[in-house]
Copies of this chain bind each other. A is one copy, B any other.
Amino acid sequence: MKVCRRETFNAAHRLYNPTFSDEKNEAIFGKCNNPNFHGHNYTLLVCLDGEIDPETGYVIDLKILSDIIEEEVKEPFDHRNLNLDCPEFADLIPTAENITLVIWNKLRQRLDEKYTIELTLWETERNSVYYNGK
């Protein structure tokens, strides 16, 4: 049984690799490489796999999960510049893939090992990423 919570946050970012030449950054990241940044409304779906507690009928109280997402994701990333404001991306390109990886690791530290964690992150209505730690 898997339960899921959907949350949103808004952030600016820029995709570039400081070890690449300007030409290579342009060729690979195109308009995502704008040095003045652009931004997105990110939508995050967090799913936890576990047993139903027969006393509550819950796998987990989604209010608790929502509070953890608030602390670990919305507080540090919402209305931020991922490149400039967030130490997690000091040496990591803030692609949707890497944002998902960072969030997964942060949630893994906060959630009981008995839960499997699956994340889906939509960067736009057309582009998304899924990660389950494997």
Contacts and interface: CB of A to CB of B under 8 A. Distances in A.
A115 interface: no
Contacts of A61: 28
B37 A12 contact: yes
A102 to B, nearest CB: 11
A127 B60 CA distance: 12
Interface of A: 1-8, 10-13, 15, 17, 19-20, 28-32, 34, 36-41, 47, 52, 55-59, 61-63, 78-81, 84-85, 92-98, 100-101, 124-131
A127 B11 CA distance: 16
As for how many copies of this chain the complex holds, the number is: 6
18 contacts: A1-B101, A1-B129, A1-B130, A3-B96, A3-B127, A4-B128, A4-B129, A6-B126, A11-B38, A11-B39, A12-B38, A15-B57, A37-B37, A38-B81, A40-B41, A41-B124, A57-B94, A57-B95
A41 B125 contact: yes
A29 B130 CA distance: 31
A39 B57 contact: no
B40 A56 contact: no
